[in-house]
Amino acid sequence: MWNCREDWLIIFIYVLSVFPLVCFSANFVPIDNYLIDCGSHTNTSIGSNLNFTSDTFFKNFLSTQEDILANTTLKSINSTTDFSPLYQTARIFISSSKYTFPINKKGRHWIRLYFFPFSYQNYNLSAANFAVTTEHNILLSSFSVPKKNPVMKEYLVNVTLDTLVITFTPSNNSTAFVNAIEVVSVPDDLIADDAIALNPRREYTGLLTDAFETVFRLNMGGPSVSSSVDPLHRTWVPDTSFLIQPNLATNFSSIGAVKYAKGGATENIAPPSVYGTLTEMNSDGDPRSNFNVTWKFDVEPGFQYLVRLHFCDIVSKGLNELYFNVYITSLLAAKDLDIGEKTHNTLATPYFMDFVTTPSVDNKILVSIGPSDVNSDYPNAILNGLEIMKMNNSISSLSASAAVSLPSSHGSKSKKVGVIVGVSLGIFCALVAMVGGFFVLRKRRRQLAQQGDSKTWVPLSDGTSHTMGSKYSNATTASAASNFGYRFPFAVVQEATNNFDESWVIGVGGFGKVYKGELSDGTKVACKRGNPRSHQGLAEFRTEIEMLSQFRHRHLVSLIGYCDERNEMILIYEYMENGTVKSHLYGSGLPSLSWKERLEICIGAARGLHYLHTGYAKAVIHRDVKSANILLDENLMAKVADFGLSKTGPEIDQTHVSTAVKGSFGYLDPEYFRRQQLTEKSDVYSFGVVLLEVLCARPVIDPSLPRERVNLAEWAMKWQKKGELARIVDPTLAGKIRPDSLRKFAETAEKCLADFGVDRPSMGDVLWNLEYALQLQEAVVKGDPEENSTNMIGELCPQINNFEQEPSVSVEQSEASSLDDLSGVSMSKVFSQLVKSEGR
């Protein structure tokens, strides 16, 4: 791509043009040093050492269909304080456009983006709305600069390829723009791989691969430090406006005293003008002073932040005079800190510490310094500099504006509408059922979605791991939740699905279509694209993602993210290679599954449901268990999907009486149908139908069959009662199921299908019975197969008995306990409908 000679010539000239820089920063010479003045016809010098090249000289690096060079005159600009000539010109994009920078040295780079929204001809840049992405990171999405103030965004990214491509993508019918871009090498050791994570306190590693956005960079107790003074061209601002009680703090400065030394920070970490000034306790010589000096920062929730504290003890006369404590958002970060000791018994040596933290529930990060108990004679505490950097989330995004504007409550109006829709749907469903209109079921779903009740969107997130659970379980619940709200730009979803290519559709439902997709990093996904939503649906859509993402289990399909740009309602799930269980049973021509595979699939699904019923402090009822909602990954591992499909149904009160029947025909619990009494046992019933479907490999309702055979559950139970269920088993399994395995399996299904919920087993019992059926198939279990199998379970698997009393202990203990921590989360109205109102 870059082997064209002209390109290299340009790079060469370009590198020469920035060469003077070397003279001013002896410490570090950036190998890659692109300073681009966008939309300008001429180069622009900033200060004496920064030379921005016009991007018209940079044409080969820019790929855009437009050529809109916008400019403004200084006269139209109100704010003159930090106004740089860079802001006088901009390049405007109407379609997705890229700058491609050849990278000569891989590793950490600054990306600095300059924006100033002025008006130019027909373009009002303050209305521009767009995304900025690199190959690896989403830097900005749905971004706009509404106020007439210049904005500079600074990112620190790790470049691993030979080029860095920065793409500007306008939102629907909008424009994108940029005034200037910097892509500059950064010393790789600027941020080490590890830091101390707080809450709980532990070592955090992996910073080397994270991307950062600078959100605050302060010079304590001193003036602004401009980019021309800083060796890495950072800007440091004064701290005073962030102090909660400025009267408790005072300044001190002695820039000449700063002595960089081995073991401490280097000048690249922060210059002397930062380390040489500090803010300290204003104790007025009072030896009894005992208070904290605290700075407060508003941050975006849903991200972790790297907090870097800079210290340099220029106040002490001798060693071991100053001990103090540092707190980050009320957590003890450093106790009895003695800077001199940290820097090998030197004074005035710069030193820094890195912490990884999450914001408080009200989206703040507080940094406090206060006296330690060690020396109450001279109580003091100091801080010289502070940086707060947002870390990318697990989909490598630094943008998730949705997490900020999460609605705290739901309007009563929308609730009422929901109830009315629910009630009328209830009547509708009952009518449908009476006329035996199972054909209409799909249509009903469609209507449901069309009525704006498109909240058939209950995303489930799993995450295989307990690590994820425990990683966040001690954090404040609000921030833990928002850690999972991953917002995708529409353009990313569009690209992933080949612009919603019809040939990529892998499923269609009432909500819309499901598309196969592939993210730029190669991750396969399934994108469910909802029909256009009502305005009110948005708030609930977001709350849902926030709340339900907390359910994480390897047998629940995981939510990767969502997109709500452009009035869209798209959920992005992990891609399940092998589709639905249903498709492997009949009607698709896929090779038939062995009995063992089928048992393992049933066991997996049962685990997922068991977790829903018991893993949380309150039971969550799926309400639409069916073979089409159990998906298989590449290893045929089963995961439950589409959980809580009909979640905006009517309220469920204390007695679990629901006014509308939801679910899929053929799987519906007769008791729920008769009495609208909703319990976990309704899921157990539906699961019993699934078991029969798996065994017999036929649709649960097949109207083309003679009447007594139309309904699988009825028909199969007829045979089961006669003890001859084997006669209707999937012919491809004939002779391959061990009789005792079949018997155990059939008994389990039969119990699930009991008329009354109280007579049905719990999902936990079902799980153990299925596991036992698998053992019987594999002949692991020795013993008399004719013996009553229930007794056998008791003898052979003693833990089963425990299980009856203490389900969360014997099954997947760790998942259950890690969720206990989340039980304090206040549920959204929407969500609470899925939750049984009493604890277990």
Number of residues engaging ligand NAG in binding (CB under 6 A) = 17
Q: Toward ligand NAG, which CB reaches closer, 462 or 669?
A: 462
Pattern of binders to ligand NAG over 241-280, x per CB under 6 A? ----------------------------------------
Residue 464 binds to ligand NAG (criterion: CB under 6 A) = no
Smallest gap from residue 217 Cβ to ligand NAG (A)? 20
Q: Name the phi and psi angles at 694, rounded to 5.
A: -65, -40
| Distances in whole angstroms, Cα of residue 139 to Cα of each of 96, 399, 459, 743 | 15, 6, 25, 58
| Contact status, residue 466 vs residue 818, Cβ threshold 8 Å | yes
Angle CA(364)–CA(368)–CA(371) in degrees, nearest 5?
165
User: Does 394 engage in binding with ligand NAG (CB under 6 A)?
Assistant: yes
Name the strand (E) or helix (H) holding 414.
Answer: helix 412-434
Give the nearest distance from C-beta 371 to ligand NAG in angstroms: 7
Separation CA 573–CA 525 (nearest Å): 6
The DSSP output letter for 260 is -
We find the least distance from the C-beta atom of residue 472 to ligand NAG, in angstroms, to be 11
Longest dimension (CA), the chain: 98
Question: Strand 351-357 relative to strand 194-197: parallel, antiparallel, unpaired?
Answer: parallel
At 98, phi and psi to the nearest 5?
-130, 145
396 binds ligand NAG (CB under 6 A): yes
Query: Smaller CB distance to ligand NAG: residue 370 or 485?
Result: 370
Smaller CB distance to ligand NAG: residue 209 or 424? 209
Q: Strand, helix or coil at 230? A: coil
**Residue closer to ligand NAG, measured from CB, 418 or 463:** 463
Find tokens 């198939």 and name the residue.
777
Say whether residue 482 binds ligand NAG (CB under 6 A). no
Q: How far is the CB of 245 from ligand NAG (least distance, A)?
A: 11
Q: Decide if residue 210 touches ligand NAG (CB under 6 A).
A: yes
The candidate with the shortest Cα–Cα distance to 460, out of 541, 570, 569, 558, is 558
* Binding positions for ATP: 528
Among 261, 315, 374, 391, binds ligand NAG (CB under 6 A): 391
Task: Give the shortest CB-791-to-ligand NAG separation in angstroms.
Answer: 50
Q: Residues 346, 392, 558, 679: which binds ligand NAG (CB under 6 A)?
A: 392
**Of 376 and 823, which CB lies nearer to ligand NAG in the complex structure?**
376
Of 332, 354, 333, 351, residue with least CA distance to 342: 351
Nearer to ligand NAG by Cβ, of 215 and 270: the residue is 215
Pattern 155-194, binding to ligand NAG, x per CB under 6 A? ----------------------------------------
424 binds ligand NAG (CB under 6 A): no
Is residue 291 involved in binding ligand NAG (CB under 6 A)? Answer: yes
- The Cα 194–Cα 354 span in angstroms is 8
Q: What is the dihedral of CA 664, 666, 671, 673, to 10 degrees?
A: 50
Site string for ligand NAG, 340-379 (x = CB under 6 A): ----------------------------x-x---------
Residue 393, interface with ligand NAG (CB under 6 A)?
yes
Tell me which stretch binds ligand NAG (CB under 6 A): 103-111, 206-214, 469-477, 523-531.
206-214
Which of the stretches 41-49, 388-396, 749-757, 817-825 binds ligand NAG when contact is defined by CB under 6 A? 388-396
CA distances in angstroms from 614 to 435, 609, 668, 763, listed in the order given: 37, 9, 21, 9
Pairing label, strands 50-54, 33-37: parallel
Q: Please tell me the distance from the alpha carbon of residue 370 to that of residue 592, in angstroms, as a whole number.
A: 69
Write the CB contacts of 420 (distance below 8 Å, at least 6 apart in sequence): none
Q: What is the number of alpha carbons within 13 Å of residue 583 lying toward its C-beta?
A: 14
Report helix, strand or coil for 777. Answer: helix
Nearest Cα to 308, choosing from 221, 192, 408, 394? Answer: 192
Q: Which is nearer to ligand NAG, 239 or 771 (CB)?
A: 239
562 or 595: whose CB is closer to ligand NAG? 562
CB of 662 to ligand NAG, least distance (A): 36
| Interacting residue with ligand NAG among 108, 109, 112, 136 (CB under 6 A) | 136
Q: Taking the CA of residue 228 as centre, how many other CA atoms within 13 Å lie in the half-sphere pointing to its CB?
A: 10
H or E stretch including 681? helix 680-696
Please give the annotated binding residues, written as ranges: 528
Least separation in angstroms between residue 393's CB and ligand NAG is 5
x/- track of binding to ligand NAG for residues 293-332 (CB under 6 A): -----------x----------------------x--x--
Of residues 328 and 684, the one with the C-beta less far from ligand NAG: 328
Figure out which of the listed residues 27, 76, 290, 837 binds ligand NAG, where binding follows CB under 6 A: 290
N-term to C-term CA, the chain? 63
Phi, psi of 267 (to 5 degrees): -65, -25
520 binds ligand NAG (CB under 6 A): no
Q: Which CB, 309 or 448, lies closer to ligand NAG?
A: 309
Contact between 129 and ligand NAG by CB under 6 A: the answer reads no
Asked if 209 interacts with ligand NAG (CB under 6 A), we say: yes
Applying CB under 6 A, does 575 fall inside the site for ligand NAG?
no
- Least distance (Å) from ligand NAG to the CB of residue 546? 17
* Cβ neighbours of residue 734 closer than 8 Å, sequence gap 6 or more: none
- Please identify every residue annotated as catalytic: 624
Name residue 352's amino acid. Answer: F
Distance CA 368, CA 371 (A): 10
Alpha helical stretches, state H, 530-614: 535-548, 581-585, 595-614
Query: Which residue of 40, 89, 292, 372 would you call a contact of ligand NAG, by CB under 6 A?
Result: 292
**Shortest Å, Cβ 251 to ligand NAG:** 20
354: number of Cβ within 10 Å: 18
Q: How far is the CB of 788 from ligand NAG (least distance, A)?
A: 52
Residue 385: helix, strand or coil by DSSP?
strand
Give the footprint of ligand NAG on this chain (CB under 6 A): 136, 206, 209-210, 290-292, 304, 327, 330, 368, 370, 391-394, 396
